[in-house]
Structure formats: C-alpha cells, structure tokens
Structure 1
C-alpha cells in the first residue's frame, strides 16, 4: 500500500508528538508536524492526504486557517481537532467540507485512527473507480473495434460522429453481431461517458411489467407494489438508456414511450409528479422496423422519432477477413483471463472457420474459441478442436447469403464433408458426384479437408 501523508498543525508540541507517535504505529503513515498555521501554509508545498488542524491555534483564527487550507489543498481531507466541544462550530465546519470534528479527549487517538481507515478506504475505492472507467473507455473506444473490413471501418466512423452529439442512435443487425458493444462504444466516447449506461432487454421483460420497469412506480400503484421503484429511465438520467430488441415492445407501451421522448419527462405508474429527463436513447433490434410499421406492429411516429443515426451491423459472414482477427482476439483474452499460455490457430483451423457461415455471428465465434482453448491439448488449436454447431439452421442460413453458384456448391460440399469426418468416398456418394470432383475442388482450394 502507498504511503499516507498526514500534516498535524498543533501548537502544543507534546500533544502533536503524541498524535504523531500513535499515527506512525502504522508504517504506511508519514506524519509532519507544524507548530503554527502560518508555518504550515508557508512550508507545506504538496497537498497531504490528511490535514489535522488545531482549531484554536494562536497565530491565526481557526476558521480562516481552515478556509485557506481548503483552498490551497483541494484534494486533502481536513479533520478539525479542538479543545472545545462547540456544536454550532462543528456543524458549520462539517457543512463547509471538513471531514470530521474531534474533541481532544481520551478517545481522540482511536477516533482519528478510525477516520483515517475510512479515508483510505474511500481513496482506494475512488482509485478503483478511475481505473475501471479508464479500462471501460479503452475497451469501448471506437478505434478498438476489432476488424479491418470496410463495414467495420464505416461503423467506427459513425460511432465517432454519434459521440459528438446527443442524437438518438438506432442499431440494427442479426442476433449476436455486437449491437450492445456498439451502443457502449457510443456512450463511452460521448460527453456523458461518466454518467450511467443502462441496458434494457425489452424482449426479456413480460408485457405487464415493462411499463413499471421503464418508468418506475409508486408504492401501492398496483397489487404487489409494496415500495416505490425507480425505473430504468430515471436510472439513466444524464447518461444513456439502451433499449435492446425494441421491436418486441407492446404497442400500448410504444405510445407511452413516444410521449416520454417528446416531453422529455416521465410519470411513475400510480404517480402524478413529472420527472424531467436528460438522457440519450440508443435502440437496437434484429427486426426490420420499417416492415414492422407496415405490418402494424410498430408505430410509425415512434419509428421516425427513434431513427436518428442508423447503424447497420453486418453479419460476421459478410465481414471479409474479420473472422480470424476476432478469433485470435477471443483466444488471447480467454487465455489471459484464465492464466493459460497463448494459443494459436493452425492453418486448417483457420480454413474451417472461414468456411463456416456463423449463424450466431460474433457471439457464436467467441463461444467456439473459448471451447477450442479448453479442448485443445497443445499450444496450437487444430481443426478438430473447433466444434462447429452444424444443424438444419446452417443450411437455411447459408441460403440467405449472396454467393455465386460455384460458392454455394463449395459450401454444400464442405458441409457434407464436415458432417462425415472428411470421408471423401462417403461424401461423394451422399452428394451423388464423383470423388474426383471433390479432390479437384480441394486442389483448387475451394474446400478443405
């Protein structure tokens, strides 16, 4: 633990030395004593962690010394130590920023010791918060989005633009593409980065509870409402609220959400007081909201209110070259988090990943890489360590891709080979083609075995 610097301003040298002796029983405490207020102000150049002020020091009035110390050493905590038990003075000093007011008696040393413990705990907590904020900002920096594809570079540019204003952002993309990561990147690169980021998965909340979850409720608003509840919009006030899967929201709640966005205020369920809001709204959905509007499932006026800056996240299969970059990123992270040696992908493992359509997108790739690390024996992940989830959904997903006929054929042949342990003869019989056709496709690097 780092040293904790304490300055004692006390004209009674015996009492000052007594305090110093007791405080330095903890070797982390470094104590300096000053016998006058003026010598302290003149000779204390660097802000100590704690200042212990004798309120009745002769050369300068106590309140004046406190104010000058507070102004000069803005980061220091100040504890007043006085021979008088003056309640009104104590209250005034505490209101003006003193950490504590101690009366000189037999309990002073113990109370001072306990106060220092609390100050250090607070200091350590603030340091942790600053470090976490720094790490979060670094993690969600738009320049750190993993990928070299043109699509990801376009998204990074949009995140940068969105971070400069408080405009609403609508994020679309298939499940697992990383919509919440983009939302957090926008928040942590905006002026609201030190304010709350509150995520709400609309699809996961029952329709009868969503209004209370979003806007809160007063005690007794309905059966079971035994206490007042703060809603997600209030939690996010001043920061960002992220409404994920907003396409699943009930039409009745959509109407209330529209009013909240227009009026910039909410009324808790069962309440009358209007609560002003100043938070950014980011929405996400895997659905085509314009189609939902046409089908009568989503309000047109709410759609245009929420559109803002539209960001469409491409499916992983359409991000040329990004699969291997992301795979290595997830591998390195998982190994580091679990204290394991770094592992690499073999050429065959890379080919297997590149040939797979990833219906679960980035989320599926992350899960595959973590499992591959666990299943692999050495420091190189082999093709057989990667357990692709090949099922009926893969074929339907394949048919949504924009490929040439030659590419479709290669995908189908590769799928059959993967499902039959790379047995060329068996696969050729299933496909009703000659095995020479499969060998030719291998030679032309259209498929891998």
Structure 2
C-alpha cells in the first residue's frame, strides 16, 4: 500500500512514518506542506494521512483538492484537537477516519491501517470474483457447440446484449435456458449490477407475491419483519423469471402492472416502490397455446414477448453431443483431480444414437457416471448408462394397433412420472379425461 504522510511537525512526521513503516507492505513517503503533496498525486497513493493545519493550505481545502483529483484515495485526518463538528463534516465528505494527536495515536493508526487493509482485500476479492463471473459467462465459451442451432442462438444473444428488450427464452427442460440468461446479463452494460434468478415453478402459489414484491411486517402470519422482494433486489440490474408459464393466472395481473409501471407495492403495504430492471423470462411451455387455453394472460404474453430465443433440443444439435461430452468429462476430471478419459469410437456412436429427453442436463449426468464406471483411460460403451430407454425405440419394438400404441405410451409416461396424470397430460399435450378413458377401456 502506497501511503503519503502530510505533516509539518518534523518530530510528529517521523513518528507517523515509523509507525506506518512497521508493516513491510507499506511504502511511506513524507511531505511537509500541501503544495509538494499535490505535485506528487500523480503517483496515485492508496492512503494519505493529512495534518489538518498546514502552513499553505487548510485541511478542508487540501482534502477537497485530493478528492477532486482522485475520489478513490483514502484520507485519514490527523488533528491537534478534537473538533466533533469538523470531524463529522469531513467524514460525511468521504474521509476514512479522523484521529487526534493523542498518546494512543500509534495504536489507533495501526488499527485504522488494519481495517483499511481488510477492506481493500475484500474489494479486490469482489472485483476478482466479478471478473471470473464475466469470463465464465462469455457466451462463446459458456454455451458449447458448433451446430447451426447454437450458432443461431449466438447471433440472437449478440442482439440481446446490445438492447434493453425483454428476452423470452424458450426450450425443453435441460436445454440451458438459465445459462443463456446469465450470458446475456454478464455481457451487457448491466454486468456489474445484480442478476436475480427466480424459479416460478419452485415457489408455492401463496408465496409468489411475497417472493416477487416483498412484504411488510405483520402482512400475514409468520411475517416477523419487512422482506425485500426479488424485483427490489434486481433494481438497476436483471431479473430472470424462469418457468414463467407456471405462474398462476390470478397473479399475472400484478406482474403485468409491475412491468408496465416499473413500481411495486409490498404485500401488506400501501407505499409504491420504484423498480427498474431488465426482464428476462424462460419457459418450456408453448405460451401461445397457454393463452388460447386461458392459462396465461394475452396482454402479459405480448408484454414479455420482446426478443424470442428458442433453444434447440440436444437431439437436434448434430455432433454437439460429442463436443459437450468431451467438455463434461474434462470438467469432471478437473473438479475431482482425476486423469481425463477419452471416448472410444463405439462409445461416441452410442452417445450419438440416444435421444436425450433430459437434454444437456441428462448428458452431463451420463458422462459423469461414465467417468466413474470406466476402469482404464478410455470410456467404452458398457460404461455408458442411460437413465431410461429411448421412448420411440421402446414403443415401436412391438407390432401394435394405434390405440394400443397410445395406451403403451401413456403407461410408460405414467411410470416415469409417478402416476401423475396431470403432469403426463401436460407432457403429451392431451386432456386428462383422455388418459382416464383409455385406461378405463383397457
């Protein structure tokens, strides 16, 4: 840390310089007047201890000139007398601390330097983490693949980062919708601001409003204090509403108002709170169909539509499967401090022949399991285990009538989804009554 000591009392200057130099990481330079200090500010000190009474400048005047040159330079005022009013004024204007020339000045100065050092380390860590996040979500490296579908996504992301349009990201579960959302945020002018993700499908219906807009103390049973909602947390940054199609229609009007008016009212409150954040949404549903079926407000749909980005399923991404598999294997080896393993040609072909209903998320799990199962330096077909048989291969393995095929598909989906008829009806895009009828007839 580069430290300048400004003190016209020679003896006291030596005391301060000696105290500060006890730390070998401090480079300390003394000055006896304001002019000589100002002439050397170009050296960009990290800290200046400033005598409040100098022969050529008042402490306040010199303080203002230093801050005007560089507001990031920390200043500790050292004064012969304790003037509370002056101290408070300087602290409000940005002084780091105000010390009087007392018997314990050395201990107090060492304490201040220790605190300042910790603060600088924290700031540096935050800056480093921010840089790492930005590198991680450089979309050319975070979204892996060379297929036509992925290249089309790259082009749309480039358009998204240069505008403030709402972006609607659609695609099957596991295709990487949140990765795309983060890539848009961290490559946009808002990258230094908050990115706040909200998974709408993971929040109970009766808590959605409180989660999004916050609540006041006593708003409902269990509301022991004020809570800041996700929209306020994202102010100035980006809010990502994942699985927006799962939001109950009774709450959609309040979301629409928040988006249009850029203000919210906490549950149990009366005051409006201004919020201004970029909105990214994602869904695996066809929202146009949801609008037709009365499950999603048409006005909210058009408010959210903005720039659409549709992510292709993994089965349509050609040889991206092998590129991703190689990436996941390398990552797993690195994280677990193991030697990397390659895929034999037969193993590669097995990966290419599978349809991946769980998309990228499923491929990652398959590769990580194969890395564990493989005994040698290569992954062979027997090391690759699929969580479920390919639905099409399984169904078409027998000679059945169309009605029998329908029943077989329904039973297969019911088994895979714990007999949740509503979920199966949604996945197959048929009515629940159709499922009941087919099961009853057979």
> TM-score w.r.t. structure 2 length?
0.85
Q: 2:194 aligns with which of 190, 196, 199?
A: 196
* Separation (CA, whole Å) in 2 of partners of 1:79 and 1:10: 12
Q: 1:73 to 1:242 in 2, by over 3 A?
A: closer
> In the alignment, is residue 139 of structure 1 matched against residue 139 of structure 2?
no
Equivalent residue number for residue 23 of structure 1: 20
Q: Deviation at 1:44?
A: 4.7
Q: 1:90 aligns with which of 63, 87, 90?
A: 87
Identify which range, 267-276 or 130-139, moves more after superposition. Answer: 130-139
> In the alignment, is residue 76 of structure 1 matched against residue 73 of structure 2?
yes
Matches within 5 A, 1:276-425: 276-391=274-389, 394-396=390-392
Q: Deviation at 1:245?
A: 1.0
> In the alignment, is residue 269 of structure 1 matched against residue 230 of structure 2?
no
Equivalent residue number for residue 408 of structure 1: none
> In the alignment, is residue 114 of structure 1 matched against residue 111 of structure 2?
yes
Equivalent residue number for residue 99 of structure 2: 102
Q: Deviation at 1:312?
A: 0.9
Q: Deviation at 1:310?
A: 1.1
Equivalent residue number for residue 419 of structure 1: none
* Separation (CA, whole Å) in 1 of partners of 2:79 and 2:373: 67
Identify which range, 349-358 or 381-390, moves more after superposition. Answer: 381-390
* Separation (CA, whole Å) in 1 of partners of 2:67 and 2:210: 45
Q: Deviation at 1:321?
A: 1.4
Equivalent residue number for residue 170 of structure 1: 168
Q: Deviation at 1:396?
A: 4.8
Q: Deviation at 1:335?
A: 2.3
**Where does structure 2 lack aligned partners over 5 or more consecutive residues?**
397-442
* Separation (CA, whole Å) in 1 of partners of 2:225 and 2:377: 55
User: What's the CA shift string for 1:63-92, capped at 9, x where partnerless?
Assistant: 122122222343321101111101111111
* Separation (CA, whole Å) in 1 of partners of 2:87 and 2:341: 62
Q: 1:290 to 1:129 in 2, by over 3 A?
A: same
* Separation (CA, whole Å) in 2 of partners of 1:356 and 1:277: 46
* Separation (CA, whole Å) in 1 of partners of 2:268 and 2:394: 50
Matches within 5 A, 1:47-66: 47-66=44-63
* Separation (CA, whole Å) in 2 of partners of 1:202 and 1:331: 31
Identify which range, 338-347 or 200-209, moves more after superposition. Answer: 338-347
* Separation (CA, whole Å) in 1 of partners of 2:282 and 2:325: 25
The alignment partner of 2:367 has SS state of: helix
Equivalent residue number for residue 428 of structure 1: none
Q: Deviation at 1:263?
A: 1.8
Kept after mapping to 2: 8 A contact 1:359/1:397 = no
> TM-score w.r.t. structure 1 length?
0.84
Equivalent residue number for residue 444 of structure 1: none
* Separation (CA, whole Å) in 2 of partners of 1:77 and 1:375: 57
* Separation (CA, whole Å) in 2 of partners of 1:125 and 1:352: 48
The alignment partner of 1:45 has SS state of: helix
Kept after mapping to 2: 8 A contact 1:170/1:311 = yes
Identify which range, 137-146 or 80-89, moves more after superposition. Answer: 137-146
> In the alignment, is residue 5 of structure 1 matched against residue 2 of structure 2?
yes
**Where does structure 1 lack aligned partners over 5 or more consecutive residues?**
401-449
Kept after mapping to 2: 8 A contact 1:357/1:397 = no
